[in-house]
Structure 1
Amino acid sequence: MSQASIQPQTPDPISVRITTDDGYQLAGSEYRPATAESNGKAGIAAAPGHGIGVVINGATGVLRQYYDGFARFLCHQGFTVLTYDFRGIGGSLQHAPGAPVPTMLHWGQRDMDAALSFFMERHPQLLVKGIGHSIGGQLLGVLPDNNRYHGFLNIASQHIYWKNWPLRDRALTAAFFFGVLPLFYKSVGGLPKWVLGAEYLPKQVARDWSRFGRNKAYIADEQGQPLRQGFSGYRGRMRFYAMADDRRFAPPACVRELEKLFSNADTEVRVLHPRDFDMKAIDHFGFFKKSMHQRAWQESADWLAQPA
């Protein structure tokens, strides 16, 4: 049975604006579970997600609306949920004069920080956990004070050094990081929408993506020094989902390499096979689609609801 056919009704999200320390206005959507008064039912406090907040940090060039179905599902389980667009993407184009041009490092160091701080200030009573899709999970390692998250669920988040790909796919991956990305950010100043079917990527975002994938240092500063303190410093519970059929963006081998960087966290990796959910494919983006089997979503909600 598909998720779409059983999607519960939940209140529409509230539009919010998140101000970063360096002058960007990030567009966000906040999902609040129905109260006993609004739906005429008792027992809201007994919902598995009651008292827990979840911030969803999206993938490269993916708008927050993409996560709407999953956010509504969590909201129906009692979670309060925040989604948002990284700077330079979707609704997060507004910025103050003199604000720095967007980079991928800014997404983790500044935008993820601003979104988490905003959410915690609005809901000080909630225990906050995080979800990262692809780059949204990788950048947890550069988020300041990342132990504010009392648990983190990574969906298709991977170590993108090109040699981590299986040999059969390594040449194509190298061509993307060494050829495609530099060609576009040098010639047209960014990565157009049509290349990957996602949002336009600003020049420095595409440049960071390219240099992270080309070099063994992976996520590094402008001088090439690896940024590892936040990875080893995170001590929360972590679950990594790798999709068995994700060959292009996050094959299981790359997911396992990212897990190794979180050396002091309580981690586990689960490989999801489409056949286990009676599906033909999941791939890199399928987990958050409404066609994803409800069991996978429910397992994720149950994991997020567990004590920190």
Structure 2
Amino acid sequence: MMSTAQLSSIQKSTSQHVQFSATDGYTLAGIQYTPALPIKAQIVVSSATGVPQQFYRRFAEYAAALGYQVLTFDYRGIGQSAPQHLKGFEMSYLDWGKFDLSGAIEFVQHAGLKTFVVGHSYGGQALGLTSNHQRVRAMYCFGTGAGWHGYMPFKEKMKVHVMWNIVFPPIVAVKGYLPWSKLNMGADLPVDVYKQWRRWCKNPTYFFADPDQPELKTLYAQVKTPIYAVAALDDDWALPNSRHAFMQHYRQAPMHYQNIEAQNYGLKSIGHMGYFRQGAEPIWDEVLMTFDRYIADET
């Protein structure tokens, strides 16, 4: 792992706010991090539910300093891609993958440059919803699981049960959206995202059991992109059993499972968010070295 000072001595990178269209025409806000040296490849960061793109800034700057052009972006209804008033904003939770991530993958296409995806939680789910997953050479995802409380340790299971069934419903009924920011849990969520997420998390097979979404198993089975699915053993939201319950639906994708422990990376904890916090550079090194190998093998 290199320090920030060492990275700065290698090359400078620049960041630029950009706007691009989702594949259904919705305008999304992003930030593109560009290295000073020739670009190795493109990385699209696919965010977790309700996590604004700025959370991934450190990773993006780190990867850009090592030659990757990185795009972070906010899904519709989130952060800089949200409407002025979230109440009354209609969308499907699936739109983030189906239209938004598809649009981001399309936006970064440049002649001769490979595209990789780094997904966090929902971001690892989203690839199977895209219309252009065949453009992605490989995906690394962290904390991607099925969301069912039954996969969680008892204490976390009880906490999630209280939030879904006691805390959130009356707040959403009054506000017309889930004011996550007021609870210090992330960006506010559109009501449709909240409702679908709550319903799907009640089933061990998540949205694959939704009778209104019969096409999802077929869509995910079409993905052939190599996937590296990482689960921290202290990530109560997406432990290995939860990860497998979801990732098994990428039936044709070459799958690489990795379980990690915080102490092996010089960290006190990782949890569900620590994959992208300061100090996680040794984890990022593994991601970028893997992508480097794909580039080297095909040049």
Shorter-chain TM-score tier = 0.7 to 0.9
Contact 2:146 / 2:205 at 8 angstroms: preserved in 1? no
Q: 1:16 aligns with which of 18, 23, 32?
A: 18
Q: 1:126 aligns with which of 113, 123, 129?
A: 113
For residues 77-226 of structure 1, the aligned pairs below 5 Å read: 77-94=66-83, 101-120=90-109, 123-166=110-153, 169-192=156-179, 193-219=181-207, 223=212, 225=214
Separation in structure 2 between the aligned mates of residue 109 and residue 280 of structure 1, nearest angstrom: 36
Separation in structure 2 between the aligned mates of residue 112 and residue 256 of structure 1, nearest angstrom: 22
Contact 1:231 / 1:261 at 8 angstroms: preserved in 2? yes
Instruction: Identify unmatched segments of 5+ residues in structure 2.
Output: none
The 3 A distance-change label for structure 1 pair 103 and 185 is farther
The percentage of counterpart residues that share the same residue type is 26
**Equivalent residue for 2:253?**
265
- Structure 1 residue runs of 4 or more that deviate by more than 6 Å after TM superposition: none
The 3 A distance-change label for structure 1 pair 219 and 276 is same
**1:34 shift after superposition:** 0.6
What is the TM-score normalised by the length of structure 2?
A: 0.86
**1:164 shift after superposition:** 2.9
1:233 partnered with 2:231: no
Contact 2:146 / 2:204 at 8 angstroms: preserved in 1? no
**1:241 shift after superposition:** 1.1
Separation in structure 2 between the aligned mates of residue 6 and residue 157 of structure 1, nearest angstrom: 32
**Equivalent residue for 1:60?**
49
**Equivalent residue for 1:47?**
none
The 3 A distance-change label for structure 1 pair 67 and 275 is same
86-95 or 176-185, larger mean C-alpha shift: 176-185
What one-letter code is carried by the residue in structure 2 that aligns with 1:92? S
What one-letter code is carried by the residue in structure 1 that aligns with 2:68? F
Contact 1:185 / 1:207 at 8 angstroms: preserved in 2? no
The 3 A distance-change label for structure 1 pair 118 and 205 is same
What is the TM-score normalised by the length of structure 1?
A: 0.84
Contact 1:174 / 1:214 at 8 angstroms: preserved in 2? no
**1:257 shift after superposition:** 1.9
**1:85 shift after superposition:** 0.3
Aligned pair count? Answer: 288
**1:200 shift after superposition:** 0.8
SS at match of 2:17: strand
Separation in structure 1 between the aligned mates of residue 7 and residue 136 of structure 2, nearest angstrom: 28
**1:217 shift after superposition:** 4.8
> For the aligned residues, what is the CA RMSD?
2.5
**1:150 shift after superposition:** 1.1
What one-letter code is carried by the residue in structure 1 that aligns with 2:191? K
Contact 2:43 / 2:117 at 8 angstroms: preserved in 1? yes
Instruction: Identify unmatched segments of 5+ residues in structure 1.
Output: 36-43, 45-49
Separation in structure 2 between the aligned mates of residue 181 and residue 106 of structure 1, nearest angstrom: 22
Contact 2:14 / 2:36 at 8 angstroms: preserved in 1? no
The 3 A distance-change label for structure 1 pair 69 and 169 is closer
295-304 or 172-181, larger mean C-alpha shift: 172-181
Contact 2:232 / 2:260 at 8 angstroms: preserved in 1? yes
**1:259 shift after superposition:** 2.2
Q: 1:287 aligns with which of 251, 275, 298?
A: 275
**1:278 shift after superposition:** 2.3
SS at match of 2:251: coil
SS at match of 2:91: coil
